[in-house]
């Protein structure tokens, strides 16, 4: 799909949604490098009533989604996130700062499980819950065993590779995920349903054991999130835009 075609689809989406449309489409971790380009684009648009963010991301850093939401909301009165296919982990946290989520039949959110540096391989990013569940496994193995040598045989080699400060940082990341989720829900997505916030926060930060668990539009609604089901021309435009950006990324990889 040529750039002109993508622009035509964006303009049509703006007509259908009566909004200004931004696009964040990436296969690399979401981090603060998005902020300056986003700010430049928002300044060009100026303050407008409604902004729709087309979001395709598998997640990233714990702090970035909150910063993105706060920045976008400096420039609009209403904010919606459109998820053509995937908005996982930290990207799902970003969604909680919207007034509305637009999803289609293939759209997925996921558990809020930000990425952190691997405790041994520093160039590798892993879900923070994976590290924490590993530590819990070793703790259970030690406490459930009658063999006093279990700690030495199983746990000591691994724990020797972990910096105590790093473990503390993982704990802070988990707590920060809950804090950000509660704050965004209470100020935006569930501001009129405050009693639901503890349940939704718990479900998204601790209720799923697979990092890649697919939360479709029906399940998102059941959780209490404000989901608009895209149908007809609206969904056709959104999906064609997704396909256009996916093709663009594949071409750039060649």
DSSP-assigned states of every residue in 187-233? IIITTT-GGGHHHHHHHHHHS-S-TT--B-HHHHHHHT--EEE--HH
pLDDT score recorded for residue 155? 60
Is residue 69 within 8 Å of 94, Cβ to Cβ?
yes
Residue 138 lies in a domain: no
Task: Pick 174 or 147 by higher pLDDT.
Answer: 174
Looking up tokens 């963010």 gives 53
Residue 173 lies in a domain: yes
User: Inter-axis angle of helices 197-206 and 164-184, to 10 degrees?
Assistant: 140
The count of other CB atoms within 10 Å of the CB of residue 24 is 19
Residues 6 or more apart in contact with residue 241 via CB below 8 angstroms: 6, 9, 10, 13, 23, 54, 84
Domain of residue 59, CATH code: 3.90.226.10
pLDDT at 133 over 90: no
Task: Pick 150 or 90 by higher pLDDT.
Answer: 90
pLDDT at 118 over 70: no
Structural domain boundaries enclosing 111: 3-115+169-253
pLDDT at 171 over 90: no
Residue 140 lies in a domain: no
pLDDT at 137 over 90: no
Is residue 184 within 8 Å of 96, Cβ to Cβ?
yes
186-197 residues labelled b (16+ CB within 10 A) or e (exposed): eebbbeeeeeeb
What the block records as the tokens of 102 is: 């637009």
pLDDT at 123 over 70: no
Looking up tokens 């998102």 gives 220
Mean pLDDT across 95-122: 85
Residue 90 lies in a domain: yes
Residue 157 lies in a domain: no
The count of other CB atoms within 10 Å of the CB of residue 112 is 30
pLDDT digits (tens, 9 = 90+) for 195-241: 999 999 999 988 887 778 999 999 999 999 999 999 999 999 999 99
pLDDT digits (tens, 9 = 90+) for 13-65: 999 999 999 999 999 989 999 999 999 999 999 999 999 999 999 998 889 99
pLDDT score recorded for residue 83? 98
What the block records as the tokens of 130 is: 């994976």
pLDDT averaged over every residue in the chain: 87
pLDDT at 164 over 90: no
Beta bridge partners of 22: 53
3-class SS at 115? strand
Residue 128 lies in a domain: no
pLDDT score recorded for residue 208? 85
The DSSP secondary-structure symbol of 12 reads H
Q: How many domains does the chain have?
A: 1
Q: What are the φ and ψ backbone dihedral angles of 51, each rounded to 5 degrees? A: -120, 130
Residue 137 lies in a domain: no
Q: What are the φ and ψ backbone dihedral angles of 87, each rounded to 5 degrees? A: -140, 90
Distance CA 119, CA 87 (A): 26
pLDDT at 165 over 60: no
Residue 130 lies in a domain: no
- Nearest partner of 68 among 99, 25, 98, judged by Cα: 98
**Segments of 71-114 assigned E as strands:** 76-83, 86-87, 100-103, 108-109
């Amino acid at each position: 799909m040529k750039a002109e075609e993508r622009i035509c689809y964006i303009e049509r989406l703006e007509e259908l949604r009566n909004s200004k449309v931004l696009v964040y489409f990436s296969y690399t971790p979401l981090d603060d490098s998005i902020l300056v380009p986003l700010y430049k684009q928002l300044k060009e648009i100026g303050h407008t009533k409604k902004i729709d963010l087309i979001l395709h991301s598998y997640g990233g850093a714990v702090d970035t989604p909150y910063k993105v939401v706060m920045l976008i909301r400096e420039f609009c009165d209403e904010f919606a996130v459109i998820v053509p296919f995937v908005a996982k982990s930290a990207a799902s946290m970003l969604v909680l700062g919207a007034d509305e989520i637009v999803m289609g039949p293939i759209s997925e959110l996921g558990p809020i499980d930000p990425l952190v540096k691997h405790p041994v391989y520093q160039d590798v990013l892993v879900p923070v819950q994976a590290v924490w569940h590993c530590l819990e496994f070793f703790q259970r193995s030690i406490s459930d065993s009658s063999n006093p040598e279990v700690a030495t045989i199983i746990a000591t080699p691994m724990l020797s590779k972990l910096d105590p400060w790093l473990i503390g940082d993982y704990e802070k990341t988990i707590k920060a995920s809950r804090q950000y989720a509660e704050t965004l829900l209470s100020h935006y997505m569930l501001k009129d349903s405050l009693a639901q916030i503890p349940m939704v926060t718990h479900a998204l930060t601790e209720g799923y054991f697979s990092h890649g668990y697919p939360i479709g539009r029906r399940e998102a609604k059941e959780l209490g999130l404000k989901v608009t089901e895209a149908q007809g021309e609206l969904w056709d435009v959104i999906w064609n835009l997704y396909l256009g950006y996916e093709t663009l990324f594949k071409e750039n990889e060649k």
